[in-house]
Amino acid sequence: MYSIIKNINKIFDHRVRLGIMSALMVNDFVDFITLKELLDVTDGNLASHLKALEKVEYIHITKEFIGKKPNTKYSTTPIGTEAFQKHISALEKIIKMQR
């Protein structure tokens, strides 16, 4: 069993981080407001989870201005993509074992 769960990544234990990565995996990028609305979280809650993913280099942050308004976009890094794919694959293997 250990060989299966070794790819379960603790960083994805929280539903918000799992949601962030899920959204980023199917989009080239997602902005802060879209993530906030999609996940139904507060600014501070989302920011803390984004910071945790940035700290382990799973996401890339791009800041720009649209007119005079700041816009922050997030995307996955190659490291983040690989880690998330391994995590999902491990979960799928565990589910298949239970059938």
The enclosing domain of 33 has a CATH number of: 1.10.10.10
- Say if residue 48's pLDDT is above 90: yes
Tens digits of residue pLDDT in 56-97: 999 999 999 989 998 999 999 999 999 999 999 999 988 888
Q: Is residue 33 part of a domain?
A: yes
**Which tens digit of pLDDT belongs to each residue from 5-15?**
788 999 999 99
Token pair in block for residue 9: 């990544």
Read off the pLDDT band of 2 (50, 70, 90): low
CB atoms within 10 A of CB 59: 24
Inter-CA distances, 14 with 8, 45, 64, 98, Å: 12, 12, 28, 23
- Is-contact 86 72, C-beta < 8 A? no
Mean of all residue pLDDT scores within the chain: 93
Domain that holds residue 38: 2-89
**Whole-structure pTM over 0.85, yes or no?**
yes
The reply to whether 98 falls in a domain is no
Helix (H, G, I), strand (E, B), or coil: what is residue 94? helix
Quick one: pLDDT at residue 7?
82
The arithmetic mean of pLDDT across residues 33-59, rounded, is 97
Q: How many domains does the chain have?
A: 1
Strand pairing report for 59-66 and 69-76: antiparallel
Q: Is residue 95 part of a domain?
A: no
